[in-house]
Structure 1
């Protein structure tokens, strides 16, 4: 005979997929549909969260083909587990030996689970491990096996990209010689800077870079965002690195240079950085790569933190980044009206001028060589050294075409 429990499910009030974080209340209700009156012992709710890492370590783990018997014997499993959450709540419970009778039909039993205030590790699923949270409803009935239904719970550990350590500019440079010995064709240099370290998904990272190609070959620059997954257990570590976004630049011919004045690379919808777990980390970096045919690629990597709180800075800091990076970049904006220079009296006192004024004697053409620096011409040079500058005027005394311009 078919079971009289036709449906059992868990529904969250916040079902938009935005997830929950530490200190928030997970609310919802358990749905239950019965085809006939049913006697139950209890309806309980459990919220759990675990972090697990696992990979095979040994000589055979690095092999790409079929494994030999010797390699299989040398394989060992590296695994570790951490518990991050355990909550429970009893929604319905029988008070006597007769149990609790639920009528046929649809039942909605509300629930509320308050997450702990301590930081929780964000939900994540990677190559060698994961962090997984779930809410499970368990229906207990006399003389029947327990029925249960499980629903994944998305946990987000908020990372504020506005924290002081994440809003500072980051820069790096590198250089390499293309070729070697007598076959060397010249160096290729790369300077890269970004205006801050912290970004959120969906943002575009402005990249300021300068590639100088002094080699005899063609250079091809590009930028990539890497996701770096690090798994640790029992003193062993394994890392998985993958590209999540990339953008290409224009080719740099031999003897030329190219400047990226804020070339943008958009961050895809990836998981935020996971930095608060001792067995699993998720980090990101921005790599600018220059590929040269027939030579090792030139690379610069800058750390990037993907957060959950959008950047709230006012205005753009790009101009400051550019001006402090390289003399070949765009200069700072000049003021609209130039300021007059200080008067000569403010710079050199009259007593000092008279004291320093040299005594000029007539030149003796026969005594001093014509081009000797400390000869007869040197006093004339010293004489003009402390003379006042030309009179400054904001109106040209000799205007061109009837227009007045600034003059000195």
Structure 2
């Protein structure tokens, strides 16, 4: 009978959303199926979190078109536990009887349990964007003498706890004024922060001094930025939502109040990462020929608010993780940005 080995790693879910946060324990086991007696050189389980960015840009080199690649990587967390082997003095995991595992495996199925403690320190959430990703995973690796190593890996979703000091104040607004073409004046206030799933308030007045009816458009956009080698950046913008005010008649002044419903299934702002940023900008502009005139607000989107002693961010995190994986391939709302204001996204 030919030799066959199957290695797999799984973890235990601890909540309905199948997510983990700061201070949680992540437990599971590595399953090893072998058809013949075999000897192991080393056998370990690793927990790791990392940020990785990568993209290519076109460049001119002679007659033939070419491109240049940029990439960078940063480790957020790394912890390794050994069942067998490891460096001299490395503590080894033991079986349910407290005995070390043998480096000789008998035919059959064997389970090797493990437990990792996630740190209390702040770490960014799981995220997959256009040119970068933040991933957390468990990886098992078994090595034999004179044989190719066997590996298996499984990712898990990490959602950090909300910062208690990062609260949304009712009077925390940004106030801006802008004079559009034809002398149309808008004084707009927009909230600086908002929790996912809640409403972002935009208020103000607009004085229509033209002979045509007008109305304001509110467009919330996500901007992803990735940095590699400390000098090269890649930008990508996506529409999150589009709302329109009521029509303002010619030669009239109107009060404008809009509550923009922020979706739950988008990533929160990511502002504390060296290699990657996720920011949100609110554009306020007039329809039609005035669309290249705009007021721009920076908005920080926070994880869903804690409710009843339990974090609602945990209940939403699965859909958030799924949405972040596909956000770069499809717009969440409406059509792409008008060409006449798209250039404003570049720094």
The equivalent residue for 1:72 is 65
Give the distance between the partners of 1:118 and 1:97, measured in 2 at CA: 32
CA spacing shift, 1:274–1:158, aligned 2, 3 Å = farther
Contact 1:52/1:130 (<8 A) preserved = yes
Cα deviation for residue 97 of structure 1 reads: 12
The two structures, once aligned, show a CA RMSD in angstroms of 3.3
The equivalent residue for 2:148 is 145
Deviation per CA, 1:2-47, whole angstroms, max 9, x where unpaired?
Answer: 6543562322333644533333322222234455665544431011
Q: Give 1:319-334 correspondences, 5 Å limit.
A: none
The equivalent residue for 1:278 is 274
Cα deviation for residue 204 of structure 1 reads: 2.4
Q: Give 1:80-229 correspondences, 5 Å limit.
A: 80-91=72-83, 99-102=103-106, 104-105=108-109, 107-141=110-144, 144-160=147-163, 163=166, 168-178=171-181, 186-194=182-190, 196-229=191-224
* Larger RCO: 1 or 2 (CA < 8 Å, sep 6+): 2
Cα deviation for residue 152 of structure 1 reads: 0.9
Contact 1:161/1:199 (<8 A) preserved = no
Cα deviation for residue 270 of structure 1 reads: 0.9
**2:247 is the counterpart of 1:251:** yes
Give the distance between the partners of 1:165 and 1:98, measured in 2 at CA: 56
Cα deviation for residue 296 of structure 1 reads: 4.1
Give the unaligned 5+ runs of structure 2: 86-91, 93-98, 308-347
Give the distance between the partners of 2:100 and 2:180, measured in 1 at CA: 84
Give the distance between the partners of 1:157 and 1:235, measured in 2 at CA: 28
Give the distance between the partners of 1:18 and 1:205, measured in 2 at CA: 29
CA spacing shift, 1:6–1:130, aligned 2, 3 Å = closer
Q: Give 1:8-23 correspondences, 5 Å limit.
A: 8-14=8-14, 16-23=16-23
The equivalent residue for 1:47 is 47
Contact 2:20/2:159 (<8 A) preserved = yes
Flag the structure with larger Rg. 1
Give the distance between the partners of 1:309 and 1:295, measured in 2 at CA: 35
> How many residue pairs are counted as aligned between the two chains?
294
Give the distance between the partners of 2:133 and 2:21, measured in 1 at CA: 17
**2:286 is the counterpart of 1:290:** yes
Give the unaligned 5+ runs of structure 1: 61-67, 179-185, 313-408
Give the distance between the partners of 1:201 and 1:104, measured in 2 at CA: 49
Give the distance between the partners of 1:242 and 1:169, measured in 2 at CA: 25
Contact 1:222/1:290 (<8 A) preserved = yes
CA spacing shift, 1:53–1:135, aligned 2, 3 Å = same
CA spacing shift, 1:169–1:40, aligned 2, 3 Å = same
Contact 1:158/1:307 (<8 A) preserved = no
Cα deviation for residue 274 of structure 1 reads: 1.3
Cα deviation for residue 287 of structure 1 reads: 2.5
Give TM-score scaled by structure 2 length: 0.72
Give the distance between the partners of 1:251 and 1:97, measured in 2 at CA: 74
The equivalent residue for 1:319 is none
Most deviating of 220-229 and 157-166: 157-166
Give the distance between the partners of 2:58 and 2:224, measured in 1 at CA: 20
Cα deviation for residue 108 of structure 1 reads: 3.4
Give TM-score scaled by structure 1 length: 0.62
